[in-house]
Amino acid sequence: MPEKNSPGQPLVDIQNTRDTRNIAIDKVGVRGVKFPIAVLDRADERQHTIGDFTLTVNLPHHFKGTHMSRFLEVLSEHQKEVSVHGIPKILTALKERLDAESAHLEVAFPFFMKKAAPVTGKAGMMPYDCRFIAEANGSYDMVMEVVVPVTTLCPCSKEISERGAHNQRGYVTVQVRTKDHVWLEELIEMVEASASCGLYPVLKRPDEKWVTERAYDNPRFVEDMVREVAIALDGDERIVSYEIEVENHESIHAHNAYACVKRDKA
């Protein structure tokens, strides 16, 4: 077998060869890239966390392939800029380095808030799964997502039963587009205020009494949850569109209750 690459010559660039199948590719790139990042939080501190990235660009029909290593290089060079303000720069860098017209970035990360118990004030760290989904394609588009675990207590169960009411952990996923800056913390607080009760990392007995009674006094179906969060988001002028999904891990069933509301205010 002959040497495929002559010594001293650059290696063949297969990706750069001409493709004749005449099919443009909407998105091509890397997925499942884990990377340590720092996120700016409302308390004005850099919060260290781990991002799980998808980075893609479009590929015109006449190129055989993109250059995968460049996505990682761009990410390394911009790791300090994974923020609402920094992401547009990453997309611009991706478009330039990959010679593309559009670029997309998706990053999922756990985000922590210090949270104090409602009566004793005992504090701990609450984790929330968050995500930024951004696209530069002529114009710029950015979606923020938070998943907020809450307590939901069933209004029907409360009403028909002599004592007690079934309740459970529910997960509220909110995606928003905004025209002005909104903190992840603000979205989280809107959701928690809409629930039967928010969750807490540390609860002493006086706190547990408080959350139990608060949930009992504020029953919520999944239907109520999506509506209450929708009302909160409708009332915030910075938010221009949203999608709300609620999934209750019903304590009386092995399956979940689910509701969804989407709205474009424009």
Query: Which of residues 7, 8, 23, 266 is near a copy of itself by CB under 8 A?
Result: 23
Nearer to a copy of itself, 36 or 237 (CB): 36
Taking the complex as a whole, how short is the minimal distance between the CB of residue 33 and a copy of itself, in angstroms? 4
Is there binding between residue 254 and a copy of itself (CB under 8 A)?
A: yes
Instruction: Tokens for 138, please give them.
Output: 């002529």
- Other beta carbons within 10 angstroms of residue 264's beta carbon come to 9
Q: Which of 165, 169, 127 is nearest to 151 (CA)?
A: 169
Distance CA 134, CA 146 (A): 15
Q: Which residue has the tokens 């929330």?
A: 128
Query: Which of residues 7, 11, 18, 266 is near a copy of itself by CB under 8 A?
Result: 11
Site string for a copy of itself, 38-67 (x = CB under 8 A): ---------xxxx---x-x--x----xxx-
DSSP 125-177: EEEEEEEEEEEEESEEEEEEEEEEEEEEE-HHHHHH-SS---EEEEEEEEEEE
Taking the complex as a whole, how short is the minimal distance between the CB of residue 10 and a copy of itself, in angstroms? 8
Q: Which of 248, 186, 243 is nearest to 223 (CA)?
A: 248
Taking the complex as a whole, how short is the minimal distance between the CB of residue 52 and a copy of itself, in angstroms? 9
Is there binding between residue 136 and a copy of itself (CB under 8 A)?
A: no
Q: Following CA atoms 178, 179, 183, 189 in sequence, which dihedral angle do they give, to the nearest 10 degrees?
A: -60
Query: Which of residues 87, 105, 113, 168 is near a copy of itself by CB under 8 A?
Result: 168
User: Within 203-222, which residues bind a copy of itself (CB under 8 A)?
Assistant: 203-206, 208-209, 211-213, 215-217, 221-222
Nearer to a copy of itself, 79 or 180 (CB): 79
**Part of the chain binding a copy of itself (CB under 8 A), chosen from 134-142, 174-182, 184-192, 198-206:** 198-206
Query: Which of residues 41, 81, 169, 189 is near a copy of itself by CB under 8 A?
Result: 169
Taking the complex as a whole, how short is the minimal distance between the CB of residue 118 and a copy of itself, in angstroms? 11
Q: Which of 215, 166, 165 is nearest to 194 (CA)?
A: 215
Hey, which residues does 172 pair with through a beta bridge? 148, 246
Query: Which of residues 6, 160, 180, 235 is near a copy of itself by CB under 8 A?
Result: 160
State whether the Cα torsion 158-190-104-69 is positive or negative: negative
For residues 58 and 27, is the Cβ–Cβ distance under 8 A? yes
Query: Which of residues 6, 8, 34, 264 is near a copy of itself by CB under 8 A?
Result: 34
Is there binding between residue 88 and a copy of itself (CB under 8 A)?
A: no
Taking the complex as a whole, how short is the minimal distance between the CB of residue 100 and a copy of itself, in angstroms? 13
